[in-house]
A and B are shown apart, each in its own frame.
Chain A
């Protein structure tokens, strides 16, 4: 029963990432090694930084700019922790299907963000941030943490979760403000 619940959680986590990425590369949850988990974690953070960098160039909205700056600072802090850890563990992050799919979809999203007119950009950006953080929180909880064997890697992912949840709360506040105009 416990195994079944675990599998359902994994499927759910992968499912929401796939919905976000609009991909359908597998019906079963992938099995990831620690180097692959580390790679996905770093990629997920890099992707959000890339969205924030576009926002910092295109937006004039104070709340959007503050949020984007926060994403750059916090996700860089997570990447630094991850790099320090894999260096300490002598592990090389390994490319994998989950990371590749995320990168592919991120490129599509960046194209949409770059194309968006000034009036639509802020809402597009913050709507994407809400969806992206929901997807990543689900994936960290349901896939990356369960798939991590190394205790320190698992612990780092667990430490990142509250930040992702705080980012989601912040994004939803900004979203509510924008949609009330």
Chain B
């Protein structure tokens, strides 16, 4: 009887760890660049997730940290994309069209 209880407890612990691990699996999010806008303009992700920006415009665009450009993609032509693993909440913009702005929110 005691062995059974220990076994059940171990299974529950294992399931808990597995569930917890599954929740932390990084997710890929997509932001479209279309009609001179980041869509969605504000995106909420978890730390470690990846955001992929895809340029759908016939104008070149890039993606850079607002406003110090401490990280920045190269210019993206129509159909090109760029990915970044996200670690913190940040604002970003297109350095080629400075009125284009977006926001990444990291939720714990």
CB-defined interface of A136-171 with B at 8 Å, one 1/0 digit per residue? 000000000000000000000001001101110110
B30 within 8 A of A: no
In contact, B36 and A173 (Cβ under 8 angstroms)? no
Q: Which of B5-13, B83-91, B92-100 contacts A (4 or more CB under 8 A)?
A: B92-100
In contact, A169 and B99 (Cβ under 8 angstroms)? yes
B28 within 8 A of A: no
Given contacts A70-B96, A70-B97, A173-B98, whether A166 and B60 have CB atoms under 8 Å apart is no
Residues of B54-98 whose CB lies within 8 A of A: 57-60, 96-98
In contact, B58 and A162 (Cβ under 8 angstroms)? no
- Distance between Cα atoms of A74 and B96 in the complex (Å): 10
Given contacts A73-B60, A74-B59, A81-B58, whether A162 and B37 have CB atoms under 8 Å apart is yes
With a cutoff of 8 Å between Cβ atoms, the chain A residues found around residue B60 in the complex are 73, 77
In contact, B99 and A163 (Cβ under 8 angstroms)? no
Given contacts A162-B36, A162-B37, A163-B36, whether A77 and B59 have CB atoms under 8 Å apart is yes
> DSSP majority for the A interface?
helix
Which single member of B35, B58, B99, B100 contacts A77 (CB below 8 Å)? B58
Q: Nearest Cβ distance between residue B72 and chain A, in whole angstroms?
A: 14
With a cutoff of 8 Å between Cβ atoms, the chain B residues found around residue A163 in the complex are 36, 57, 59, 97
Residues of A70-123 whose CB lies within 8 A of B: 70, 73-74, 77, 80-81
In contact, A165 and B98 (Cβ under 8 angstroms)? no
In contact, B99 and A166 (Cβ under 8 angstroms)? yes
- Distance between Cα atoms of A165 and B59 in the complex (Å): 14
With a cutoff of 8 Å between Cβ atoms, the chain B residues found around residue A165 in the complex are 36
- Distance between Cα atoms of A159 and B58 in the complex (Å): 9
Chain B residues proximal to chain A, CB less than 8 Å: 35-37, 57-60, 96-100
* Among all A-B residue pairs, the 10 with the closest Cβ atoms: A169-B99, A162-B36, A162-B35, A166-B97, A166-B36, A166-B99, A74-B59, A77-B59, A77-B58, A170-B98
18 extra A-B contacts, CB within 8 A, seeds A159-B35, A159-B58, A163-B57 = A70-B96, A70-B97, A73-B59, A73-B60, A73-B96, A77-B60, A80-B58, A162-B35, A162-B37, A163-B36, A163-B59, A165-B36, A166-B36, A166-B100, A167-B97, A169-B99, A170-B99, A173-B98
